[in-house]
Amino acid sequence: MKTQAPPKHSKILILDFGSQYTQVIGRRIRELQVYSEIVRFDTSADTIAREQPNGIILSGGPASVYENGAPQIDPKIFSLGIPVLGICYGLMQMAHHLGGQVRYTGRREYGAGTLDVTNESQLFDGLGAQVDVWNSHGDEVTALPSGFRVAARTSGSPFAAVEDPQRRLYGLQFHPEVAHTPRGREILQNFVYHICHCTMDWTMGSFIDDACERVRAQVGDNKVVLGLSGGVDSSVVAALLHKAIGDQLTCIFVNNGLLRAREEEVVQRVFGENFHIKLKYVDASERFLNNLRGIVEPEEKRKVIGNEFIKVFEDAIVDLAKPDHGSPSNNHQFKFLAQGTLYPDVIESIAIGGNPAHVIKSHHNVGGLPEKMHFELVEPVRQLFKDEVRQAGLQLGLPKEIVYRQPFPGPGLAVRILGEVTPERLRILRDADTIVQSEMEASDWYYRVWQSFAVLLPVQTVGVMGDQRTYDYTIALRIVESQDGMTADWVRLPYELLARISNRIVNEVKGVNRVVLDISTKPPSTIEWE
Ligand code: XMP
């Protein structure tokens, strides 16, 4: 287990038993300005003792404690003297290993319930006698371990919340971390502040200072190169590294010819002009478009674009190392490659009772390259969740248009042009996309949705313009809401806004005479069309 937070911070460790909500627990704790870290369920008591967390939370999970291969905790954790809060399956682990009884009910209690608080438990301080909660569990506790007492019950469950205040062990059968438990935050607050005595020392200001120190210690006076895509993560890394090491950082921005309109201008203005970051702009549009000629298969497009990106990036580094750039002629002048790796990419995922997720689409981000140049990695935001990266970006002075921009796929507009990518099709899609973005922004919807974009379909249909028959392309509008891109629903935009977007596209974009709206959810559809 690798911890990057300096020891002065309070810390809560979360043992992950495979719940879909584990990361939500992590975020909730960080929202309380306490640093949290997610580790595997089988992390040993010795390792945890060395980490010295102020408290431990056991997540929920899909298994039943008696199942073959069910994930089991190291029971010595309960005698470390560190407060433990077991949630759902975490409570079952606690009861099971400390001598209580757990029963597999064969049915899942799922949905809303009302909690009757029955004693003066510190966990429910300030919440009153009744609390609305959200349940999702299969096992249930039928007898408490010795030393434990009931803290709250629901109509269906006599042991909905239990505690051993002497040993500071607490268990909840429901989920305090989800939005459906409206006062769950206060329960977690009670645990974190009053039971674990954490201080609110996890703030973006302190993170930025610590991160800068760590980067300086790591890179010394060596040079760092960063592939800047203009997306949130690499932008925040650029701003952070610039603050930490100034001109030791060089950013490379590759125009692959598949960007949105004026994207290269925005990036050069924000980073080159405002931040005065050393920025090498490489216009490789022609190289990419030549390589994409004749290719229609989506994964093939991604492969071509990913491979070409690596080559262009390597060429740029070699170029930067040439003597006319004032440095010796070898490409090792950059010892470090910076990447915008985030915390969800780092958490070791555990698949319990499920199949590892299939690769539906291969995602080529700007990161993960180029291996053969043997860089050491600098990953200054690998501790952060996405919302924290955004906060850090704002604190570092990045504009809202960068910090809150919607995700944009690495292969760019190529996966939004169904069929072959040609300069003419790119022109059409770019024009349509500009209208979608500007109308979404003007109506204030842009920041309320996950993504909003146009897709160019390889379908020509008959239309009429004045007295003329037209035979032109169709644009599909894809506007979705989502938490993390894994699932998504289409946004019910006001008809007037849809009408304005549609009218503008058919009137202003040459080559388009029809606009359709994508009203499919993910799954079974995906967000991008390719
Ligand atoms: P899908 O289409 O799989 O998209 O529902 C989920 C999220 O991922 C983005 N996406 C990509 N991002 N390279 C990327 O960097 C890709 O090849 C790629 N394909 C999809 C998509 O925009 C959405 O936010």
HSE, side-chain direction, 13 A CA sphere, residue 476: 19
Confirm if 36 and 14 have CB atoms less than 8 A apart: yes
Task: Work out the percent of the chain whose per-residue pLDDT is above 70.
Answer: 92
Higher pLDDT, 276 or 156: 276
Q: Which amino acid is at 27?
A: R
Q: Which of 37, 51, 140, 177 is catalytic?
A: 177
Burial of 412 (0-12, 13-18, 19+ CB in 10 A): buried
Please report the pLDDT score of residue 483 as a whole number.
87
Is 3.40.190.10 the CATH classification of the domain at 204-403? no
Question: How many CB atoms are closer than 10 A to CB 323?
Answer: 8
Confirm if 51 and 45 have CB atoms less than 8 A apart: no
Strands 11-16, 376-378: pairing kind: unpaired
Q: Is the CB of 406 under 6 A from ligand 1?
A: no
Please report the pLDDT score of residue 107 as a whole number.
72
Q: What is the pLDDT of residues 55-100, one digit of tens each?
A: 999 999 999 998 899 999 999 999 999 999 999 999 999 999 999 9
Domain 11-195 is in which class?
A: alpha beta
Average pLDDT of the segment spanning 249-277:
96
Mean pLDDT of the chain: 92
CA 155 to chain centre: 37
Average pLDDT of the segment spanning 208-218:
98
Please report the pLDDT score of residue 366 as a whole number.
42
Average pLDDT of the segment spanning 302-322:
94
User: Domain boundaries in the chain?
Assistant: 11-195, 204-403, 421-517
512 forms beta bridges with: 473
Q: Which amino acid is at 485?
A: G
Q: Cα 268–270–275 angle (5° rounding)? A: 105
Q: Is the CB of 364 under 6 A from ligand 1?
A: yes
* Element holding 424 (H helix, E strand): helix 423-442
Equal CATH topology for 11-195 and 204-403: yes
Closest residue CA from atom 11 of ligand 1: 409
Catalytic status, residue 388: no
Tallying the residues shown for the chain, one arrives at 530
Domain 421-517 is in which class?
A: alpha beta
Q: Cα 290–293–298 angle (5° rounding)? A: 120
Average pLDDT of the segment spanning 159-182:
96
Q: Is the CB of 409 under 6 A from ligand 1?
A: yes
Give the C-alpha distances (Å, rounded to integers) separating 314 from 23, 253, 320.
36, 12, 10
How much of the chain is in helix, strand and coil states, percent to nearest 5?
35, 25, 40
Catalytic status, residue 175: yes
Q: Is the CB of 103 under 6 A from ligand 1?
A: no
13 forms beta bridges with: 37, 56
User: pLDDT tier at 321 (50, 70, 90 boundaries)?
Assistant: confident
Among all chains, which residue has been given the structure tokens 């249909």?
461
Reduced to 3 states (helix: H, G, I; strand: E, B; else coil), residue 375 is coil
